[in-house]
A and B are shown apart, each in its own frame.
Chain A
Amino acid sequence: MNRLDVDALLDNPETRVLVCCGSGGVGKTTTAAALAVRAAERGRRAVVLTIDPARRLAQSLGLGELDNQPRRVDVEGFKGELHAMMLDMRRTFDDMVWQHAGRERAEQILANPFYQTISTSFSGTQEYMAMEKLGQLVERDEWDLVVVDTPPSRSALDFLDAPQRLSTVLDGKLIRMLSAPARAGGRGIRKIVGAGFGLFTKAVSTIVGGQLLHDASTFVQAFDSMFGGFRQRAQATYELLRSPGTGFLVVAAAEPDALREASYFVERLSAERMPLTGLVANRTHPVLAPLPAPGALAAADRLERTGDAPLAAAVLRVHADRVAVADREKRLLARFTRAHPGVPLIGVPALPTDVHDLDGLHEIGRRLAGE
C-alpha cells in the first residue's frame, strides 16, 4: 500500500489548496478542519472553509456567527495561524450579483422569485458557491494554505459540475427563447419545434402558472448581463483546481458505498486531469492487541461456561468483534487499492467519542499524520 504522507503534504509550501471531497456522512468537515489545525500547528497560515459544520464543531472554531468571512482562531502554541469560516451560500451569491450587475439591475435580480429559488434551493448552488468562495479566498492571498470542505452532495462530483449545470440551465436554448423579444423569438422557435411548442408553453404555463414564466423571462434577461463575468470566474476557479498547487483528498469511510463513491471520484478526477493527492480512509478500527480471534473466542467460550471471569470474557468478545471489523475494513481498502494502485492512502483510526473541540481536531490531525 502506498502510504499518504500528510505532514509532507502540509509542510510543502507548494501546497496552496486542499479540497476534501467524498460522500455524505464520512467526516469531510472534521477532516478538513483537522488538516487546517495540523497545518497551523506546523507553521502554515491556514484557512479552512467549512460548508455545514456541526454546531459544536463550529463553536469550537469560533464560528458562532454567520458572516461569511474568515475569522482568526486564537490558539496558543501554534507556529502558524488558523482561520476558519463557514459558507453562507445565499450571501456569497448575493455578493456575486452585486459585483457583476449594476446597482439597479442587482436589486431587480435579488427581488425576483426565480433568484430566490436558485440562490437557496437549486441543487448545485451550494457547490457552486463553495467553489466561488474558494476562488475568492485564494485571490485574497492572505493565507498560504486554503483547506476546503465540499457540500454533502448526493453525488460527490456535484461541485465539479455545478457551475456548468447552472449555466446550462440559465443559458440554454429555452431560456434564450423565453428571454428573446416575443415576436422575433416566436418565429424562430416555431421553425424548430412546430406547433408542439405552442402546446408546450400552454402546458407549462398551465402547470407552473403564467406569472412564473414571466418571472423566468425577466430574470434571465437581467441575469444575461452577468453571464460573461460568471463564466469567467467559474473558468478561473476550474483552472485553479487543476493547477499544481491544488490537491484533492478523497475522504471515505471503510464502507462499500463510500468507497464506491470514492472510486468514482478518483476516476473522474483523473479524467478531468485534476490533481488527486490521496484517499483518507476515515474512522477505521485497527486491532490494538495482536491476538488471533479464534483463540480469543475459544477462551471466551470456556470462561462463559464456567462463569468465572466475566470481565475477561467480555474483553475477549470485544477483541473478536474488533478483529472482524478490522478484517472487513482491510479487505475493502485492499479492494480499493487493487483498483487504484497509484492512489496513496492513509487510514485514520476512529476516535471513540464525537469530536467537537480543538483538542479533538488536534488528535485527528495526529492520526491523519499516522502518529
Chain B
Amino acid sequence: MNGWTDELTRARLHVVTGKGGTGKTTVAAALALALATGGRRVLLVEVENRQGIAQLFDRPPLPYSEERIASAPGGGEVRALAVDPEAALLEYLAMFYNLGFAGRTLKKMGAIEFATTLAPGLRDVLLTGKVKECVRRAGKTGRHEYDAVVLDAPPTGRVVRFLDVTRAMADLAKVGPIKGQSEGVVNLLHSGDTAVHLVALLEEMPVRETLDAVAELDAADLRPGAVFVNRVSPPRLPARSVASASEGRVDAGRIRAGLQAGGLDVEEEVLDGLVEQTVEHALRVRMEQRAKEKLAEADLPTVELPELTDGVDVAALYELAEVLVGRGVR
C-alpha cells in the first residue's frame, strides 16, 4: 500500500517508533510539521529525557512546558514538550493533593525518583497520561487545543510495553484517581484516534524489528499506522543491470566506451574504482529490494522518505515535511 489513508487522517495521536538509528525523532518532527501545514496546531512530544527535539531544531533544552518551536507553511504551528516523569508525578499529585513545599522535600529525598523508576509501570502511566491530557485538552474556542499530537516514542523493542497501560495497571492500584486516569489513556490508545507509526530503513535488521513490532502491537490490540521508510536513496542503475552487477558482472569495456562517448577518458585505476562502486551499489539495491518485499508482509500504508546527503538540519525537516504532504499526509 502506498501513501497516507483517510483512516490515518482521522487519527489525533500519532505515535512514532522505530529501531535505534532509523531516524525516529527526525520523522516525528517532519510529521508534526506536515500535519501542521495549512494552519493547524500540532504538539510534538518526547518522553525519554533525550532532548532530541531541541537538538534537531537547534534549540536549548526544552523545559517542561509546551513551547512554540516552528511555524508550518500556511500559518500552522508546532509546539514541543519534553515530558519528564518526575515533573509529571508532581504535577499529578498536585492535582489531587495539596502537597505544597513537601513536594520539593520529597524530591530531594529521592521519593519521586523512587516512585517513577521503580514502581512497575508507574513511569509509563505518568508519561502516557500526560500525552492523553494534551490530546484531550480543550482550547479556548471549545475545540481541541491541538489538532494533532505527535509522540516521539521509545524504540520498537520497548514501545509495546510502554503503550500497554492495561498490563501496567494490573500491577498498580485497583481504585483511585490514577486508575481513572489510566482508563482514559487505555481508551485513547486503543481507539481510532491513535495510530502507531513505524520508522524503518531498507536493511535486514530494521525491517525484522518493524515486523516484530507490528505483530506485538496487533497482539496488544494497538493499532499500527503507517510504515515510514526512511533514507531511501534513488536506484541509479538500469533495472536490468542490477542482478548481474550485484554478482560482480559489470562490463568494464562498455563503461569505458560509454565514458568516452560522454567526453571522459579515464585511467585503468579510475575505471576499476567505478566498477567496484557500481557493484556495491547494485548489492545495496538488491538488499533494499529484498527488504522492501519483506516489509510488504506488514501490509501497512507505506510512505518513503528520501536520503538527504547533506544531513538533517531545520531546513531539511521542512523538506521532509513537504515530501510527506506530497504523499498525502494531513
Contacts and interface: CB of A to CB of B under 8 A. Distances in A.
Interface of A: 23-26, 54, 113-114, 116-118, 121-123, 152, 154-155, 168-169, 172-175, 192-197, 199-200, 202-204, 206-209, 212, 216, 253, 255-258, 260, 287-291, 295-296, 298-300, 302-303, 306, 308-319, 321-322, 324-325, 328, 332, 352-354
Contact of A25 (B19, B97, B99, B284): B19
A352 to B, nearest CB: 4
Contacts of B278: 314-315, 318
A215 B270 CA distance: 70
A301 to B, nearest CB: 9
A122 B121 CA distance: 10
B48 interface: yes
Given A308-B258, A310-B238, A174 B114 contact: yes
Interface string B157-176: 00001000000000111101
A193 B273 contact: no
A248 B272 CA distance: 37
Contact of B115 (A26, A204, A310): A204
Given A122-B117, A169-B118, A353-B283, 20 more contacts: A203-B99, A204-B111, A206-B173, A206-B176, A207-B172, A207-B178, A208-B172, A289-B272, A289-B273, A289-B277, A295-B264, A299-B264, A306-B261, A309-B254, A309-B262, A312-B254, A314-B237, A316-B259, A318-B237, A321-B309
Given A193-B102, A196-B102, A206-B178, A309 B309 contact: no
13 contacts: A25-B21, A169-B110, A174-B114, A175-B114, A193-B105, A209-B173, A288-B273, A291-B270, A296-B264, A311-B241, A318-B237, A322-B277, A353-B283
A311 B274 CA distance: 12
Contact of B109 (A193, A288, A318): A193
Interface string B262-274: 1110100111111
A353 B287 contact: yes
B273 A354 contact: no
A315 B177 CA distance: 65
A208 to B, nearest CB: 5
B255 A169 contact: no
Contacts of A200: 93, 99, 102, 106, 111
Nearest to B118: A169
Contacts of A328: 309-311
Contact of B205 (A290, A309, A354): A354
B243 interface: no
A290 B279 CA distance: 17
Contacts of A172: 109-110, 113-114
B165 to A, nearest CB: 14
Interface in B287-330: 287, 309-312
A209 B270 contact: no
Contacts of B98: 199
B281 interface: yes
A328 B311 CA distance: 8
Given A208-B122, A260-B55, A309 B258 contact: yes
B140 interface: no
A25 B258 contact: no
A288 B277 CA distance: 7
B102 A253 contact: no
A174 B276 CA distance: 63
B268 to A, nearest CB: 11
A299 B260 CA distance: 9
B236 A199 contact: no
B287 A354 contact: yes
Nearest to B269: A290
B100 interface: yes
Nearest to A288: B273
Contact of B258 (A174, A257, A303, A352): A303
Interface residues of B, number: 78
B291 to A, nearest CB: 10
Contacts of A155: 50
B140 to A, nearest CB: 31
Given A25-B20, A299-B263, A309-B261, A352 B283 contact: yes
B261 A312 contact: yes
Interface in B44-94: 48-50, 55, 93
A289 B172 contact: no
Given A24-B20, A172-B110, A324 B255 contact: no
B22 interface: yes
B247 to A, nearest CB: 12
B311 A256 contact: yes
B218 interface: no
Contact of A302 (B178, B257, B262): B262
B309 A54 contact: no
B303 to A, nearest CB: 21
A289 B270 contact: yes
Contacts of B178: 206-207
A311 B120 contact: no
A26 B205 CA distance: 12
A118 B118 CA distance: 7
Contact of A315 (B50, B263, B274, B310): B274
Contacts of A203: 93, 96-97, 99
Contacts of A298: 263
A178 to B, nearest CB: 9
A202 B105 CA distance: 16
A352 B261 contact: no
Closest 5 CB pairs of A and B: A25-B21, A196-B102, A312-B258, A24-B20, A289-B273
Contacts of B96: 203
A260 B25 CA distance: 15
B26 to A, nearest CB: 9
A117 B102 contact: no
Nearest to B252: A315
Central interface residue in B98, B100, B111, by most chain A CB within 10 Å: B111
